[in-house]
Amino acid sequence: MSSSPAKPQPDLLTVSGLGFRVGGVEILRDVTLRVREGSLLGIIGPNGAGKTTFLNLVSGVLLPTSGRLEVDHHDVTKASPATRAKLGVGRSFQTSSLFNALSVFENARLSAQVRFGGNSRAWQRPRASDPASLAAMDALETVGLRTVATSIAGTLSHGEKRKLELAILLAAEARLLLLDEPMAGVNSDDVPQLSALIARLHHEGRTVLMVEHHMSVVVGLADRIAVFDSGRLLAVGEPDEVIANEAVQSAYLGQPL
Ligand SMILES: Nc1ncnc2c1ncn2[C@@H]1O[C@H](COP(=O)(O)OP(=O)(O)O)[C@@H](O)[C@H]1O
Ligand SMILES: [Mg+2]
């Protein structure tokens, strides 16, 4: 994306003066940021900086106390997560949110079902040829889990669970993927494969916001990096310039960057 000479993509996400305050405590303040369609924004910052809160505000899990959010030029500042999902916003959580007692396939299918009309048949035994089942299998194929489709989700390895979470977003046809530490708890041997998968989803045209502690992963995948510190957006820019930024260096003093 960043090296492409093609005309710039429109913004998919526009964040202006976003703030979140609870009980007099300012958790996030005055965050202004634009994310172009098809780009991958890495989000870094020390623990407690407000990264997860930011994703919660974008997905609609939390509503901001100030500022404005637009997805594809629709004002979603006060919109529900369901309304945002219809615009293509999909998120994964820092801790896994799978239905552990259901099969891998059923997890993906329930997600696809939302898109093919949220009717009461979600729990009916699926036919292999219904659109939601096909979309679910497609998503599992993309992330490399088709061969374990009938396994119970709870029995998957951490790495596989992370892949299933991505499949769930794909099955829902998310085009703005909000990933909160997608490598958390994953065996280091699985990190390269998971990064390659995220890179592929990005290169297929999806827009990604990814909170991630593994700096090598962020620098390798991101077009741009946003650095949060103490509830503020400290810096945003291309990876090289952000890493060289003095304010960023000092926010990370004593921590590996
Ligand atoms: N709903 C909430 N109520 C009170 N405090 C919160 C709430 N959500 C987050 N916080 C606090 O806000 C700060 C930012 O949290 P978080 O967004 O989880 O940071 P990060 O993901 O960067 O580690 C932390 O100090 C956390 O304890
Ligand atoms: Mg967090």
pLDDT score of 190 more than 80? yes
CATH (domain of 244): 3.40.50.300
Q: Domain tally for the chain?
A: 1
Residue (of 249, 245, 221) closest to 41 by Cα position: 221
Residue 70 lies in a domain: yes
pLDDT of residue 92: 76
- 37 assigned to some structural domain: yes
Least distant ligand from the CA of 61: 1
Atom of ligand 1 nearest to the CA of 228: 22
Strand partners, 26: 21
Cα–Cα nearest to 146, from 125, 173, 167, 117: 167
Residue 227 sits in which domain range?
Answer: 1-79+214-257
pLDDT of residue 1: 47
Residue 175 is predicted with a pLDDT of 94
- Domain membership flag for residue 193: no
- Write out pLDDT tens, residues 27-80: 999 999 999 999 999 999 999 999 999 999 999 999 999 999 999 999 999 999
pLDDT in tens, 89-126: 998 765 667 899 999 999 999 988 877 765 545 555 65
Q: Is 55 in the pocket of ligand 1 (CB under 6 A)?
A: no
0.85 exceeded by the pTM? yes
The answer to the question of residue 129 being in a domain is no
Tokens of 24: 């007099």
Domain presence at residue 43 = yes
For ligand 1, whether the C-beta of 29 sits within 6 Å is no
Q: Is residue 49 within 6 Å of ligand 1 at its C-beta?
A: yes
C-alpha 32 to ligand 1 mean position (Å):
19
Q: Which atom of ligand 1 is the closest one to the Cα of 27?
A: 12
Nearest to 142 by CA among 210, 196, 80: 196
* Residue 13 is assigned to a structural domain of this protein: yes
Residues 6+ apart with CB under 8 A from 34: 11, 13, 14, 15
Structural domain contains residue 196:
no
